[in-house]
Amino acid sequence: MEEKTKNEKTKNFFINVLKGAVMGIACIIPGFSGGTVAVVLGIYNGFIEAIAGLFKHFKKSFFYLLPFIIGIVIGFAGMIVPINLGFEFLPLPIICLFVGLMLGGMPPIIKDAGGDPKPAHIIALILAAAFAVGICFIPRGNADMTDAGFPQYLSLSGVGVLASVGSIVPGISGSMICMIFGAYDLVLGTLNNIVTFNFATIGSDLLILLSFGIGMIIGFFSVAFLMRFLLRKFRKGTYYAIIGFVIGSVFSIYYKQHTGDGLINPALLLPLQIVLAVMLFAIGFVATYVFCKVFDGKKDKAKEKENEEKQEPTAQDVD
C-alpha cells in the first residue's frame, strides 16, 4: 500500500511537470495566457492558493508548486526556438493547434461556473471579453529599450509587474502586454541568446532578465492574493469573468502576433497551411476534451470511493 502511494505521488509529480511545461509554452505566445492553461488543466485554484499561501505554509506550498515551476522552465526554454520557427513558417497552423487545445478544455470551466447566472455574472463575462479584445488594439510601444541603463531596467521591472497579470489572470496574455510596451522582442531575444548559448552580451542579458524577473515576482504574488480573494468571495462571478477573458482572447490570438501588427498576413495562408491548421485545431480540441473527460471521470470515481468509505459501517457501529 505504501509503495502504491509512493508510485502514485511520483506519477502525479511528472504529470504536474508536464502541465507546467504546457503553461510555459503558452506564456511565449502572444494572446495566450498561462492562467488559461491552468484553468483548462484543472489546477488553477490550487496554483493560486499555493502562491498566495507560500509565506504562511511555505513547505506545503513550495512542494506543490515545485513540479509546475520545473515544467514551466522546461517548456519555456525547450520550446522558445521551435515556437519562433513555427511562427515564422507556419503561423496559422501553430495558432490553431493552441486555440484547439484551449477551447477543448472550456466545458469543465463552464461546468465549474455553474448554471443560472445572475445579470451581474453576465455583465462580468461581457466586460471581461471586451477587455481581452480591446487590449490588442492598444498601440504597440516604440520605446527604445536597447540602451542599457537604470531607466531601462526600471521600466523592464514595471513591464514585468504588468506581464505577471497575464501569467495569472486567465485570458490575459503576458506576452501581449510585453508587446504593447515594446519589451517583447528584447526579453524574447535575450532568452533566445541564453538558450542558444550566445554569450556575447551575457552581462546585459542577465541584467535584463533580472530586472524583468523581479517585476514578475512582485506582480505574481500581488495578483495571486487578489485572485484568491475573488475566488473565495465571488467564485461564480470570477468564473464567468474567466470565461469572458478566454472568449475574448481567441480574437486577440488571431489578431495580433509577434510576426507583425494586425491580422495574420494573407500571403502566408496557402491552401496546405489552411488544411493543416484545421487538422491541428481538431487534434488540439479533441486531445484536451478527452483529457478533461478522463480527468473528470477519475476525480468523480475518487469522490464516490471516498463517500463509500465514509458510509461503510465500522466495527464499533456493528457492535
- Per-residue pLDDT tens over the stretch 227-239: 888 888 888 888 8
Residue 300 lies in a domain: no
Asked if residue 221 is part of any domain, the answer here is: yes
Residues 194, 238: Cα–Cα separation, whole Å: 38
Residue count of the chain, please give it.
Answer: 319
For residue 314, is it within any domain?
Answer: no
312 within domain boundaries? no
- Determine, yes or no, domain membership for 211: yes
Q: How many CB atoms lie within 10 A of CB 134?
A: 12
**Domain of residue 154, residue span:** 2-293
* Dist. CA 181–CA 99, nearest whole Å: 24
Looking at the 3D structure of the chain, how many domains does it have?
1
pTM for this prediction? 0.68
User: Stretch 38-54: mean pLDDT, rounded?
Assistant: 84
Question: Would residue 147 be called left, alpha or beta, if left means φ above 0 and alpha means ψ between -120 and 50 degrees?
Answer: beta
- Position 77 in a domain: yes
116 found inside a domain: yes
Other CB atoms within 10 A of residue 188 CB: 18
Q: Flag the least confident range among 231-240, 257-266, 269-278.
A: 257-266
Q: Considering the domain boundaries, does residue 316 fall inside one?
A: no
Mean pLDDT of 121-128: 92
Main-chain dihedrals φ then ψ at residue 146, nearest 5 degrees: -85, -20
C-alpha cell at 188: 524574447
